[in-house]
């Protein structure tokens, strides 16, 4: 990833308002964000700061009220396979097997049967679910479901993966294992990842950069470069120095909001 690389994602002065019970609710105000190809960028901030709204705008599920949301310099006007979304609740089709879920996107786009089969096999292997290829979602653990959700996005030719607290509902051990697996997949594929989390530790463990959002109406308040070698040690002094710095920033937001 070059410092001068053209951004895959460019948000310029993005604002978003919603109508709720006759009132206008401002979720985002003048949010700016540039993400370069191959970066792993984490978004953190208090509940209600607009993290998920920003992610939904990038996904094309919401349209900006003001400003511009661009991918490769072109306006984002709706969903597209190049922007894959991974949700906390997995979003799998319960009537399809692991194989069927992963192959749904390529099949829907009219790819040849043999190409779909080869694509599915490749990504099932990538996420280590060969033994469960013919299982249905209800037969899988939470961690396995999330692996299927990630593989489904990758199989659909995503260039940027948008992850909205994907490990938030998992137990601590499963969460740590999937963090490691996600990093391995990212390092092998060099995808671009925009990852929303409430966890400071998770953001430091995963991210190249951490963008801190202010309380609503949300905007990008500050940026932290995570200049730590991988794999990262969560008990190392430099890791915990950055954790304290981020914690102080977030606590200052809470204090301003309560004032």
Alpha-carbon dihedral 22, 51, 247, 223, rounded to 10 degrees = -120
How many CA atoms within 13 Å lie on the side-chain side of 255?
6
What confidence category does residue 216 fall into, taking pLDDT thresholds of 50, 70 and 90?
confident
In a domain, 5, yes or no: no
Residue 230 in any domain: the answer is yes
Check: CB of residue 217 under 8 Å from CB of residue 67.
no
Task: Give one DSSP letter per residue of 157-206, joined into a string.
Answer: T-SEEEEESTTTTS-HHHHHHHHHHHHHHHHHH--EEEEE-S-HHHHHHH
Distance of CA 22 to the CA centre of its chain: 32
Q: Averaged over 83-89, what is the pLDDT?
A: 87
Q: How confident is the model at residue 252 (pLDDT cuts 50, 70, 90)?
A: confident
Residue 46 lies inside a defined structural domain of this protein: yes
For the chain, the first-to-last Cα distance in angstroms comes to 41
For residue 92, whether the previous peptide bond is cis, meaning omega lies within 30 degrees of 0, is no
Classify residue 231: in a domain, yes or no: yes
**Given a cut of 80, is residue 184 above it in pLDDT?**
yes
Q: Please state the rounded mean pLDDT for residues 13-40.
A: 91
What is the number of structural domains in the chain? 1
1 has pLDDT over 60: no
> Residue 64 pLDDT more than 80?
yes
Domain that holds residue 144: 36-64+77-258
Tell me the pLDDT band of 23, cut-offs 50, 70 and 90: confident
Measured distance CA(212)–CA(208) in Å, rounded: 13
Is 86 among the domain residues?
Answer: yes
The CATH number for 224's domain is 3.40.50.300
Q: Residue 204: which of 185, 231, 173 has the closest Cα?
A: 231
For the segment 48-52, the average pLDDT, to the nearest whole number, is 87
Does 30 reside within a domain? Answer: no
Overall size of the chain counted in residues: 259
Q: Does 19 map to a domain?
A: no
Identify whether 2 is part of a domain: no
């Amino acid at each position: 990833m070059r410092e001068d690389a053209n951004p895959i994602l460019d948000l310029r002065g993005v604002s978003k308002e919603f109508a709720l019970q006759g009132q206008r609710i401002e979720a985002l105000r003048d949010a700016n964000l540039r993400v370069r190809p191959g970066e792993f960028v984490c978004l953190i901030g208090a509940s209600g700061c607009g993290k998920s709204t920003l992610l939904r705008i990038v996904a094309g599920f919401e349209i900006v009220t003001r400003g511009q949301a661009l991918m490769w310099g072109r306006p984002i006007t709706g969903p597209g396979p190049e922007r894959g979304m991974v949700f906390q609740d997995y979003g799998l089709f319960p009537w399809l097997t692991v194989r069927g879920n992963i192959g749904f996107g390529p099949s829907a786009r009219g790819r040849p049967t043999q190409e779909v089969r080869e694509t599915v096999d490749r990504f099932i292997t990538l996420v280590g679910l060969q033994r469960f290829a013919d299982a249905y979602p209800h037969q899988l653990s939470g961690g396995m479901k999330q692996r299927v959700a990630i593989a489904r996005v990758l199989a659909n030719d995503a260039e940027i993966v948008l992850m909205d607290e994907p490990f938030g509902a998992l137990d601590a051990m499963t969460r740590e294992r999937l963090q490691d697996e996600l990093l391995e997949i990212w390092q092998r594929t060099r995808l671009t990842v925009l990852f929303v989390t409430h966890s400071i530790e998770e953001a430091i463990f995963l991210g190249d950069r951490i963008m801190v959002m202010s309380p609503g109406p949300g905007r990008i308040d500050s940026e932290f470069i995570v200049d730590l070698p991988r794999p990262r040690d969560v008990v190392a002094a430099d890791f915990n120095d950055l954790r304290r710095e981020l914690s102080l920033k977030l606590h200052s937001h809470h204090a301003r909001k309560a004032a």
